[in-house]
Each structure stands twice: as structure tokens, then as C-alpha cells.
Amino acid sequence: MTAAVSVSHLSYTYPDGRNAVTDVTFTVEKGEAVGVIGPNGAGKTTLFLLVTGLLSPEHGEITVCGKSYTERDDREVRRHLGFVPHETEDQLFSATLFDDVAFGPLNFGVPREAVRARVEEALRKVGLSGYEERVPHHLSSGERRRAALATVLSYEPDVLVLDEPSNDLDPRGRTELVRFLRATHQGRIVASCDLEFILRTCDRVLVMDSGRVIAGGTTIDILCNRSLLDAHGLEVPLGLRGRTSDQLRELLEAEG
């Protein structure tokens, strides 16, 4: 079976000579949720820019649902990925929220009569029904975060690539996002420093530091490895400290 995202020996150096990503290899299966954690400057965002084809790697290969980026037309690859960047103001560039959410489906050739329904459905999923005519600038930061997610849900990509998705969300918005991500059938790659959020939304975790993948494993195993986290500038959330892997598993199962 073809992996949703396959990254092989990926490396990238910025023009100023800084190695942002070095020899990174991983795969994300269809429907799987993979977290990418690491301190600031670890290379998480650069990795996402490479996966989405916004940066071209020096070495290595990326395939998305079996397709590679070519110079001619990257749309065939990108239609499988729903990238929501960290800075939501850049994702919401249209004059109204409706236009922003309709932008992807219109470009990816979704029939015009279906686009309106897709937009309404995407806004409903993120709890922003009735916001269609709002100017994105007038949304609160939490609303903008949810609206940014709606802009990619509307074209139904196979994999969501989310950079710090829980930033700016209040506790209720965060819980709703967790609930949505756990229910969706789409694959997910989530970069976050919010380890509790990662625990509740991801099956597997990659730990990155200085552009390299330092460790990988199930989320529970990684989050219980305190020495690993300490060594790479990460911290187990207070509420999870002192719990064993089995206790964490029970906690997640109790949450449903």
C-alpha cells in the first residue's frame, strides 16, 4: 500500500549556510497521525515547507500519495496535502472568509455547484457557520486559527499538515480541535510544542532537534521518556508527570 507521505533522506540548507534539515526520513500511512516535536529552531517548520513543496530539498525525495513534485505542475501533489501554517494571517488572504475557504476547491477543480456546500461544511466543522461574509482581519486569533483549518478542509486533502495548530486557541477551542482531529479519517502531521495536545491527537511522534530526527516511537513511549525530552529542550506537561505508559494509555482510553 502506498504511504500517504514518504520522506527519504531529506536535507536542506538555507542560503545563509544554516542546516535546517539534515537526513530526515519518515513515512506517514493513510489515516495515521504523526506528531513532530522539538524545541524552537529544531527544523519543524522548514520540514513542513519541504513536504509541501514550498522549498526544494538539496538532497532526498518526497512522495505524497505516490506522487513526486515536478517543476511543471505541483497541483497534483498539493491537492493531497492540507497545509495550515503557523501564521494564520497569511493563510487568510481573501476579502471574505467565504472566498478564503472556497479558494482551494475552486483551484483544484471541484465543480462550482459543489463548492458552496463544501465551504459551508468546512465552516460548520470548525464552528464558524454564519461567518461567511466576515473580513478575516476582524476575526479573533482563535477564530482565525479555526478559519485557517477550514480553508484546507474544504478541498478534502488526504493529509493535514498542521504547524502549531493549538496556538491562540482557548481551552474550549483546543478541546474541539482535539475532538475533530481524533475523529477525522485524514492523515495528519502535526508540529507542536504543546505535548499534551500531541498526546491527545497523535499516534506516533518524531523528536527533532538541530534539523535531525533524534527519536521516533509511539506518543506515549516518547512522552514517558523524560531524559529524552529533557535533553532536547522539551518538558512533560505537569498533569502527565509521574505517570507510567499504562496510566497514560488508560487516561486516553477514558477520554475516548
Partner 1 sequence: MHPEIDRFAHLDSLVHRWDPRWKLACLFLLMLSMGLERPGTRDHPSWEADLPPALGCLGLSIAIVLLARLPFAVVLTRLRGVAWFLGIVLVIFPLTYPGEKIVIGFVPVSSTGFLVALLMVLRAFSILLLAIPAFGTSRFDVTMKALWRLRFPAPLVQIILFTYRYVFVYWAQLRRMLIASRARGFHPRPDLRTLRVAGNGLGVLLVGSIERTQRIHGAMKCRGFFGTFRTLEEFRTRFADVALFSVILGAGVLLLLWRLL
Contact residues for partner 1 (CB under 8 A)? 49, 52-54, 73-75, 78-79, 81, 83, 85, 87, 89-91, 93-96, 98-99, 102-104, 106-108, 112, 115-116, 133-138, 151-152, 155
- Provide the Cα torsion 14, 74, 7, 197; round to 10°: 80
Residue 76 Cβ vs partner 1, minimum distance, rounded to whole Å? 10
Query: Cell triple for residue 114?
Result: 459543489
Residue 37 Cβ vs partner 1, minimum distance, rounded to whole Å? 23
Using the minimum distance from each CB to partner 1, give the nearer residue, 26 or 48. Answer: 48
Residue 67 Cβ vs partner 1, minimum distance, rounded to whole Å? 14
Using the minimum distance from each CB to partner 1, give the nearer residue, 92 or 199. Answer: 92
Could you tell me how far CA 2 lies from the centroid of its own chain? 20
Cβ contacts of 161 within 8 Å, gap of 6 or more: 48, 51, 52, 81, 82, 83, 84, 188, 189
Using the minimum distance from each CB to partner 1, give the nearer residue, 53 or 173. Answer: 53
Q: Could you give the angle at which helices 141-153 and 97-107 cross, rounded to 10 degrees?
A: 20
Using the minimum distance from each CB to partner 1, give the nearer residue, 134 or 204. Answer: 134
Using the minimum distance from each CB to partner 1, give the nearer residue, 90 or 253. Answer: 90
Contact 159, 28 (CB under 8 A): yes
Count of CA atoms in the C-beta half-sphere (13 A) of 95? 0
Residue 5 Cβ vs partner 1, minimum distance, rounded to whole Å? 14
Query: Cell triple for residue 240?
Result: 502527565
Using the minimum distance from each CB to partner 1, give the nearer residue, 21 or 220. Answer: 21
Instruction: Name the one residue in this structure whose C-alpha cell is 486516553.
Output: 252
How far apart, in whole angstroms, are the C-alpha atoms of residue 63 and residue 202? 21
Residue 106 Cβ vs partner 1, minimum distance, rounded to whole Å? 4
Helical H segments across the chain, by residue range: 44-51, 75-78, 88-91, 97-107, 112-125, 141-153, 171-183, 195-201, 219-223, 226-231, 245-255
Residue 100 Cβ vs partner 1, minimum distance, rounded to whole Å? 9
Query: Cell triple for residue 231?
Result: 535533553
Using the minimum distance from each CB to partner 1, give the nearer residue, 34 or 97. Answer: 97
Residue 137 Cβ vs partner 1, minimum distance, rounded to whole Å? 5
